[in-house]
């Protein structure tokens, strides 16, 4: 049986040069199942061989004698392929490839032979790991936009709204993981100076799919009464909202739940994303970030909150000052009283 199988593969390799039709293109999602579709004229004694075309063709899946011939299958595809056996008699030679990897990308051919006919079809399998998340971080008057886990190789571009009169200074770095073969990309952008007009910075990451992130920085917010309200921009009806503090602490998550550490400070979160804060202290000075996400875009607004002396704090300072003054006067009066008593006692002794 093994000799017959090997001979069959040699015949298949020769017959595959007789091509029926042109190549088809199929895009498969990374780690998902993908249908490699092929059909043939109905006939008896069906022999099916799926091969990946390389310098030495790799057996993906074989079927004859009315059953799978998995002993011929290359180790790379073990446990990841299956045929629709109930439809083979109807001329369906398609296979399902599971848990697609970047390494699966390439050209495939399907040979089908029956008693009455033989045919070979080809398809090109392309793998896609789409852009699902863009990260942004601001520090030292620079913006870093990044994304990871992408395929095919991505591109990253910056723009502003409205456009600035000068070119944006930025540097892109792209890397590829040796194991997964997936790409990561990041770009360091110099922000415009303080004298530049207020603009939105837009980071676009494109692979086969694309995603956009818009970043806006709002001027400092000064809090004088220990409470304030911050409006989240860019909101639409179909968005997810997250509030962060100093880019590390979650205040409000995507389900609109307030984190335990911020329940004392969050007075209310409106349906429009407005964040009402109270009982604030100097510990709550820092950067507040509102991130809004929908199917294709992410929009980020940052605010720097600074505590300032307000009327109530001023009154507190005045009270403290008055109390301190009265305490000093009381001490001085007590000292004068003690001195006078001491002087009178000495005169009586003489």
Asked if residue 292 and residue 248 are part of one domain, the reply reads yes
User: Which of 192, 208, 224 represents a domain boundary (last residue)?
Assistant: 208
Using pLDDT thresholds of 50, 70 and 90, give the confidence band for residue 12: very low
Asked if residue 246 and residue 288 are part of one domain, the reply reads yes
Inside any domain, residue 37? yes
Using CA atoms, how far apart are residues 50 and 96, in angstroms rounded to an integer? 11
User: Which of 128, 162, 196 represents a domain boundary (last residue)?
Assistant: 128
Using CA atoms, how far apart are residues 220 and 218, in angstroms rounded to an integer? 7
pLDDT greater at residue 53 or residue 223: 53
Using CA atoms, how far apart are residues 24 and 57, in angstroms rounded to an integer? 18
Question: Residue 301: which CATH number?
Answer: 2.60.40.10
Inside any domain, residue 288? yes
Inside any domain, residue 101? yes
Provide the token pair at 242.
């997250």
Beta-sheet strand order (sheet of 118-128): 24-29, 118-128, 106-113, 47-52, 58-64, 67-68
User: Backbone phi, then psi, for 188, in 5-degree steps?
Assistant: -105, 120
Provide the token pair at 2.
């093994």
Asked if residue 259 and residue 289 are part of one domain, the reply reads yes
Inside any domain, residue 345? no
Asked if residue 72 and residue 105 are part of one domain, the reply reads yes
Adjacent-strand bridge partners of 219: none
Asked if residue 105 and residue 47 are part of one domain, the reply reads yes
Asked if residue 124 and residue 7 are part of one domain, the reply reads yes
Inside any domain, residue 228? yes
* pTM of the entire predicted model: 0.75
Asked if residue 230 and residue 197 are part of one domain, the reply reads no
Inside any domain, residue 348? no
pLDDT tens-place string over residues 92-140: 999 999 999 999 999 999 999 999 999 999 999 999 999 999 999 988 8
Asked if residue 190 and residue 103 are part of one domain, the reply reads no
Asked if residue 230 and residue 288 are part of one domain, the reply reads yes
Asked if residue 299 and residue 332 are part of one domain, the reply reads no
Contact 131, 205 (CB under 8 A): yes
Using pLDDT thresholds of 50, 70 and 90, give the confidence band for residue 240: confident
Inside any domain, residue 177? yes
**pLDDT, averaged across the chain:** 84
pLDDT at 311 over 90: no
Query: What is the count of structural domains for the chain?
Result: 4
Provide the token pair at 164.
């600035």
Asked if residue 203 and residue 85 are part of one domain, the reply reads no
Range(s) of the domain holding residue 286: 214-308
- At 183 the pLDDT is 98
Inside any domain, residue 44? yes
Average pLDDT over residues 27-47: 97
Asked if residue 42 and residue 69 are part of one domain, the reply reads yes
């Amino acid at each position: 049986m093994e000799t017959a199988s090997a001979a069959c593969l040699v015949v298949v390799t020769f017959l595959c040069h007789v091509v029926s039709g042109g190549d088809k293109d199929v895009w498969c999602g990374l780690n998902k199942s993908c249908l490699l579709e092929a059909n043939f004229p109905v006939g008896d004694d069906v022999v099916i061989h799926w091969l990946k075309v390389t310098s030495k063709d790799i057996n993906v899946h074989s079927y004859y004698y009315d059953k799978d011939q998995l002993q011929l299958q290359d180790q790379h595809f073990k446990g990841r392929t299956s045929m629709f056996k109930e439809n083979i008699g109807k001329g369906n030679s398609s296979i399902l490839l599971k848990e697609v990897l970047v390494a699966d990308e390439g050209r495939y051919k399907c040979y089908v032979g029956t008693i009455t006919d033989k045919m070979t079809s080809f398809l090109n399998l392309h793998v896609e790991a789409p852009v699902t998340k863009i990260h942004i971080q601001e520090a030292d008057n620079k913006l870093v936009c990044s994304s990871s886990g992408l395929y095919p190789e991505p591109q990253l571009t910056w723009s502003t709204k409205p456009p600035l009169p000068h070119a944006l200074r930025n540097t892109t770095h792209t890397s590829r993981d040796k194991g997964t073969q997936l790409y990561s990309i990041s770009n360091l952008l110099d922000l415009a100076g303080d004298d530049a007009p207020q603009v939105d910075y837009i980071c676009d990451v494109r692979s086969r799919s694309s995603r956009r992130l818009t970043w806006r920085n709002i001027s400092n917010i000064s809090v004088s009464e220990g409470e304030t309200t911050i409006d989240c921009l860019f909101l639409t009806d179909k968005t997810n909202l997250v509030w962060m503090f100093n880019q590390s602490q979650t205040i409000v998550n995507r389900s609109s739940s307030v984190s335990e550490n911020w329940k004392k400070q969050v007075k209310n979160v409106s349906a429009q994303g407005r964040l009402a804060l109270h009982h604030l202290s100097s510990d709550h000075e820092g950067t507040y970030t509102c991130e809004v996400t929908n199917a294709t875009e992410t929009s980020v607004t940052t605010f720097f909150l600074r505590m300032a002396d307000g009327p109530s704090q001023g009154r507190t300072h005045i009270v403290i000052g008055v109390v301190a003054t009265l305490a000093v006067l009381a001490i001085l009066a007590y000292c004068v009283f003690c001195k006078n008593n001491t002087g009178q006692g000495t005169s009586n002794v003489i």
